[in-house]
Chains A and B, each alone.
Chain A
Amino acid sequence: MIRDEILKKYPAENESILMILHDLQNNNPQNWLSEEDLKAVAAYLNTTLSSVLGVATYYTMYSVKPRGKFIIRLCNSPVCHIEGAEEVLSEIERVLGIKIGETTPDGLFTIEATECLGRCAAAPGMIVNEQFHGFLSKDRISGIINKTKI
């Protein structure tokens, strides 16, 4: 059972929780934390489900509902904003046929907004899982999405 192996990598102390949640989520093909995951973490750390859920829902990188195989995180900070992030977002939404925060029915893509990615010299920018794409414009979006699928 992968879940138990992941838990055992970390000391059973409350301070491990962020690292454990990252690891569990990264090992889930749909990039999320299930109720079973959270219960297992609570049992391992000898704490309550509500406190684990409290941490999991405070931090925006965690999700307690299934997401796509690829998570598009579009930078929403002021620099990317003035460089046209809004227009880029509409194009991503149009190409994928979903709104921000949603996942495509085939389970491939989720669109999210993120705060400053520290790539302001290449604004507007986004990351698709770990891959950064900068100098985005409307006409580059379908190309990036099609290439990601392959």
Chain B
Amino acid sequence: MIKETRITLKNAGKINPESIDDYIAAGGYEAARKAIGMNHVEVIDEMVNSSLRGRGGAGFSAGLKEKFTNEGCLRCAQKYVVCNADEGEPGTFKDRIIMEMDPHLLIEGIIIASHAIGANKAYIYIRGEYYLSIRRLQKAIDDAKSKGFLGEKIFGTYSYLEIEIRLGAGSYLCGEELTLLESLEGKRGYPRIKPPFPAEKGLNGFPTLVNNVETLATIPTIIGLGSASYAKIGLESSPGTKIFTISGDVKSPGYYETVMGVTLRELIWDLAGGMKEGMSLKAVLIGGAAGTFVDESVLDTPMGYDTLKEKGATLGSGAVIVLGENRSLSTMTKSILDFFKHESCGKCIPCRVGTAQLVRMADEAVDKGGITTDLLARMVDESKYISANSLCPLGQSPILPLGSLQRYFNDNTILK
């Protein structure tokens, strides 16, 4: 029976999140102190060697991202770190948990990342509805400043760092890194054409490191433990731990941090208490709306970025939505497609028209008793077209749930 391995959540529930002294007493800010004493290239090397992969969903090497941003230009007037705290993927609440329960961990991660790439200004772009997270982070920033960890001459060195919180205002799309930068610049949340990537031209045209909350909150552990020890945790191709958020038809929904390589069976039965009374498993939606449906044949697959990809699935944000046998996959799919239609910004016509078209197809089918395999095939075609002709990940998302439905549930009775 697997147990949680709490590394990122080591302080969660154990310390008062509003007390910097509690955090320091638990060993907090030691990693930042250590990193500030290191050459910034050494810090980047540690991050590259840790093989940490971005926890926002894409799974790109966090170390390489730092390296590219550092090398983005040699004599730039400005570089930025931007923390993506615009959590909005349905079924996901790991970032909220980190920010509410251990805000200083995130601040410490941002200090280290800023030192690594040579930034003296960082932003936390956070969901406007995350009121408690916003209050706790602001207090954490103020307290860190009064201890000399932020502001002028941090940790007694000549380094300077300011962190500013910026609120989002209800746009899922702004969680996509380039759209987030548009929003930070005070514009409507439309995606940018890439390249250039943020490492080269990000906020206000300057090199910018955009990292997810969970990624940044992992950095203090890597610097503290050393990359060699960290890389031994979890899977070789996806090292470390991951916070999974489990919802749906389980007895104990909630957040669970485990080593990478945990299986769905372990998450559902060992940690989340198993299926609700008298229910058997029909499907699991992994990764949220922009995620994939799987059936029980994937229950024993070690969860990692590549291992799931081999099964046509995605780890995404770590959302695990469990559906019992009485749940209608057609209704669930319609709800997901409604979401994409609502959040499509309208910049790319294939996405604007296509997501509406998908909703119409699903609506009609649900009224007539459910999506059929014939209709699903047409929806998959449509979503492939949207994906190929859209700029940002939103247009590239409907294919994920639809394609996985076709792979695992291509049967008129089960699709109902």
Contact = CB atoms under 8 A, between A and B. Distances in A.
Residue of A15, A18, A114 most packed against chain B (CB within 10 A): A18
B57 interface: no
Contacts of B38: none
B245 interface: yes
B166 A120 contact: no
B258 interface: no
Nearest to B172: A115
Please classify how large the interface on chain B is, using the bins under 10, 10 to 19, 20 to 34, 35 or more: 35 or more
Interface in B223-261: 245-248, 253-255
Contact of B253 (A16, A77, A118, A121): A121
A76 B245 CA distance: 18
Contacts of A123: 247
A54 B187 CA distance: 8
A118 B189 contact: no
B327 interface: yes
Contacts of B331: 81-82
B248 A14 contact: no
A78 B169 contact: no
A111 B189 CA distance: 24
A19 B185 CA distance: 11
A82 B169 CA distance: 25
Interface stretch (A1-9, A56-64, A141-149): A56-64
Contact of A21 (B87, B130, B169, B246): B169
A40 interface: no
A58 B171 contact: yes
A22 B245 CA distance: 30
Nearest to B246: A121
Interface string B1-24: 000000000000000000000000
Query: Ordered nearest first, which 9 A-B pairs have the shortest CB separation?
Result: A59-B169, A60-B170, A118-B93, A120-B247, A61-B170, A121-B253, A77-B90, A58-B188, A14-B186
Interface of B: 87-93, 95-96, 127-131, 166-172, 183-189, 204, 245-248, 253-255, 285, 288-289, 319, 321, 323, 327, 331-332, 335-336, 338-339, 342-343, 345
Interface of A: 13-19, 21-22, 54-55, 58-62, 73, 76-79, 81-82, 114-121, 123, 127, 130
Given A14-B185, A19-B166, 6 more contacts: A19-B167, A58-B188, A115-B88, A115-B342, A121-B246, A121-B255
